Amino acid sequence: MEQKDVQSIIKTYHNFLSTVNLDYQRPLIHSINWEDRLIEIKGAKGVGKTTLMLQHILQTFSNVDDTLYASLDNLWFQSYSLKDLADWFYAQGGRYLFLDEVHYYPHWQTAIKNLIDEYADLHIVFTGSSMLQLEAGEGDLSRRLMDYHLPGLSFREYLRFEGIADFPSYSLEEILQQHVQISFAVKAKLGSIQPHFNAYLQHGYYPFYKAVQAGYEIRLQHVVNQVLERDYPLIDDVTVATIEKTKKMLMVLAQSVPQMPTMSTLYSQLETGRNQGLKMFYALDRADLLMLLTDKTKSLKTLSRPEKIFLHNTNLMYALGTNTEIGTVRETFFLNQLSEVVPVHYPAKGDFLVDNKYLFEVGGANKTFEQIKDIADSFLAIDNTETGYKNRIPLWIFGFLY
């Protein structure tokens, strides 16, 4: 194969690089050990995986043509194989290959394993849907792969991304013990916190909001459709009928979360059985479209009935649901931010059991400890307050965990 055969790939790569801005970089870019030979970056569509890879290329390689980027949903791969591209690139002296949307390539695990085996000094970084799962029957990548997950923007990241202020992240223990001091430091820079927090809840989770402004919710609806209509069947090999049922399930739940509908009624509406219904629930969870809250005795791997169901983040609530009840918005934000850093379960009392130790109730300024009084390590996460007191902690501050 000659350079003219890959010219369209190179042109697309250069065009993408020319649009990348280095002003803001997601924290994950500094956590990845880029010297590893095989790196996987998973995440929901729209959280910035492609940008993260291209930023790394721009700031790491003095000559960007020492690397090559390609998206595996490019029509080029209808005529040529990934091995064709890698063979040509390696022959030119290239050793760092960056692959986007890997799940669009048939038998991608085997193809990548063969390249890693054939070229001992070739480095491959690839991105894929958050739904992606390594298949034991295909190329064995699990023992040689470094796996990373890129979430959407936290509230802290949103403030930096907007150019409003730059703050460090805090561990859960630091927030529990030092939230008053932290809130003072944040207030000193921001003045009023709540207007920024309210804006984040509506449009701050997916970085592409800056590019679409007024059309953000419509764009987010399109992203959801792409995930279910394109990614889902490629990864789980489901039928068109199952895709349509899953879309209907998501929209039904978007109007009712976090209250659990009667499962038999829901399955009847969808004209499906319990087993397929649970598989659809967990597919939506893997797609970062739902969050399934279970108690400690249940596992997401056993496809057990969740105790409570939430949309994955508050932006999805505003884009998909007509019922953006403030109590649900608060709980969704809390669960979304906490579950990125610690395990969260459904407790016997209260709203959330965090890190198998801390019990939380989430509510507005008038929320009391009545439901969880006399329970050790219990806390309130309170909205519409900028500073807390002892075990009453401002809700917004949990957006500083990452």
At 256, the pLDDT band (50, 70, 90 cuts) reads confident
pTM for the predicted model, two decimal places: 0.92
Q: What is the mean pLDDT of the chain?
A: 93
User: CB of 128 within 8 A of CB of 72?
Assistant: no
| pLDDT exceeds 70 at position 260 | no
CA–CA gap between residue 128 and residue 102 (Å, rounded)? 5
From the list 274, 313, 288, 302, the residue with the least C-alpha distance to 399 is 313
Residues 6+ apart with CB under 8 A from 385: 365, 392, 394, 395
Domain segments of the chain as ranges: 3-149, 158-400
Longest Cα–Cα distance in the chain? 73
| pLDDT exceeds 80 at position 301 | no
pLDDT on residue 374: 86
Domain 3-149 has CATH 3.40.50.300: yes
What integer is the mean pLDDT of 388-393? 96
Instruction: Enter the tokens of residue 215.
Output: 């059309």
| pLDDT exceeds 70 at position 302 | no
pLDDT on residue 132: 87
Q: What is the pLDDT of residues 352-382, one digit of tens each?
A: 999 999 999 999 999 999 889 889 999 999 9
Between 6 and 144, whose confidence is greater? 6
